[in-house]
Structure 1
């Protein structure tokens, strides 16, 4: 087992997870990339989150960069999702996961306003 020293901006990550906690439903977090500095300390983490069950339904992935900023356009992704064929085996009525995405859209709007 390898232990990594985490030296990421702790306040940014804590704020991000406080926002994610507002979802109030089970989620899956997939770590995509771990960025290391020259001393092998973690300097950033890139990850995606989805509602639990995303292997069974074609949910929208929410991607974050190493600074915790949402990188995909959730509003556009949701519009595309709602237009997909309802007969598709992987389609799930968006109402089931609306709170999940609404919480993250609120976070994305807050991130845009802070820039």
Structure 2
């Protein structure tokens, strides 16, 4: 059972396609805010998990609670488009926690692409 004293935390599960991870922010009430191609959503923990194992990526600092709730409210009022490269589940989760929006998975794929291109033309 979750109470309002539970931390906000980025959680992840394997994507349903089997490639990569899907990130969301677990809220103190146990629900999860996440971004999909259908937009920003708040779903139950079970719905987010989709029967897959969940792991904690990191927790937000307790003093960030008000700012996280403010960003969440703002994002639900002013929904934006999903964009694979710069507005995806990872960038949304990191932004909600007040971090620089970034996507380690996209960064990794781009890095590997650059290395592959360099090796091909070397």
Query: Please, what TM-score do these two structures have when normalized by structure 2?
Result: 0.26
Query: TM-score, normalising length from structure 1?
Result: 0.27
